[in-house]
Structure 1
Amino acid sequence: MSNIKALNWRYATKKFDETRILSEKKVEVLKQAFNLTATSYGLQPLKMLIISNKEIQKELKEFSYNQQQVDSASHVLVICIENKVDEEFITNYFKRVKHVRETPEEILKPFHEFLVNDFKTKEVEEIEAWAINQAYLALGTLLTVCASEEIDACPMEGFEPEKYDEFLKLHDKNLRSVLVLPVGYRSDDDMFSKFKKVRRPLDEVIIEVD
């Protein structure tokens, strides 16, 4: 499927086929896509929960304004941000760079020190807002990959993060939930799958600068 055809095929799924479950291969693609998503400075202040336990999904539905996609989907992805992005977190990133790329310490040191000092000057709320922006980047990547893999998905901001965090014990993992993405396969009787896309004309949203 071409990229544009896949994006036209994609829609925010309202009703999943509960009998169809994503294969391990498909789930692995989503894991890799999440890990390969672009993030500012490459720091990846994110983690993702992959939930396929129906009892847990049923509990989470209650904290998702009873949206049926949460318990009917094959899997529920919960995109979370790290609660602490500090000097240790940044240093661990540069250790990975050095290990993977074999980059000399003297080349990494200036940027390493810059990031550490820069984040020290930021308020907690500022770092949190920055991390949330990275979560949306990851969501965009996942939605695009889902479309290309013909995996149905429904991105959600409509849930109660505090209750998700408490139920999933995310505080113990130094995490906070930001976005929810039920994934699976659309039900044949989801009427929304037949609706045409409603988008502004290209000439209203694209500005070409020669």
Structure 2
Amino acid sequence: MNSIENLQWRYAVKKFDEHKFLSEEQVTTLKEAFNLTATSYGLQPVKMVVLKNKELQQQLVAHSWNQQQIVQASHVLVLCIPNEITSKDVESYFKLVKDIRNTPDKILNPFKEFLVNDIANKPKEVLNSWMKNQAYIALGNLLTVCANEKIDSCPMEGFNPVKYNEILELNKQGLNAVLVLPVGFRAEDDYMKDLKKVRKNTEEVIIEIS
């Protein structure tokens, strides 16, 4: 039951301890967990900025609905999607598959051609929505890993992506910020720290079909 106990321990931190910082090992664990996140077709159309710069964190507070967790946190993880995804990205993925698994082209090509055509024929807004969904999958994975590693976190949608892109110079990399996750350690005086978790009964959210 450790996983359930850890998820019970987790909550969206309202105040981080500004004097506590993640170890390099913990940061590496989060990076690896992000990279191992499941994504549609395995294409990984999402990247993560790992920010540990108090000056930049302070600048971002004003563009995060003044949520102080941004500057209090040990690190701020920013999940981003590319401004566009093209057949070149699909080609790169299948090259990686071939390099790692040595899979013959005759096996890879049918699926590769399907994905190339599928992406080429989808409108940009549909592809953007699909890529953003991948970022949410990554966020869910990170929240669970944080809980299991006893790292506190606070998932955020409330921020100005345009300003984040500008301050973190994501535009120069063809990226757009979609989700933010400050991580660190809860402050002893966080008013939410000892409150009971509010959830519906399991029977209300689970539908069992035998």
Show the counterpart of 1:3: 3
C-alpha root-mean-square deviation of aligned residues, in Å?
0.7
Show the counterpart of 2:134: 134
3-state SS of the aligned residue for 1:177? strand
3-state SS of the aligned residue for 2:178? strand
CA distance in 1, matches of 2:130, 2:206: 26
TM-score (norm 1): 0.99
3-state SS of the aligned residue for 1:194? coil
Show the counterpart of 2:86: 86
Q: Deviations over 1:135-180 (max 9, x none)?
A: 0000000000000000000000000001101111111101000000
Show the counterpart of 1:175: 175
Q: State percent identity of aligned pairs.
A: 58
Query: After superposition, where does 1:139-150 map in structure 2 within 5 Å?
Result: 139-150=139-150
Q: Deviations over 1:47-99 (max 9, x none)?
A: 10000010010001111011000000000000000112101011000000001
CA distance in 2, matches of 1:98, 1:172: 30
Q: Does 1:186 align with 2:186?
A: yes
CA distance in 1, matches of 2:202, 2:173: 44
Query: After superposition, where does 1:37-186 map in structure 2 within 5 Å?
Result: 37-186=37-186
Letter in 2 for 1:77: L
| Alignment check: 8 A CA contact 2:52 2:76 kept | yes
TM-score (norm 2): 0.99
CA distance in 2, matches of 1:74, 1:171: 25
CA distance in 1, matches of 2:169, 2:68: 23
1:32 CA displacement: 0.3
Show the counterpart of 1:206: 206
Q: Deviations over 1:90-132 (max 9, x none)?
A: 1000000001111111100000000000111100000000000
Q: Deviations over 1:10-31 (max 9, x none)?
A: 0000000000000000000000
Letter in 2 for 1:190: D
Q: Runs ≥4 in structure 1, deviation > 3 angstroms?
A: none
1:193 CA displacement: 1.1
CA distance in 2, matches of 1:95, 1:201: 47
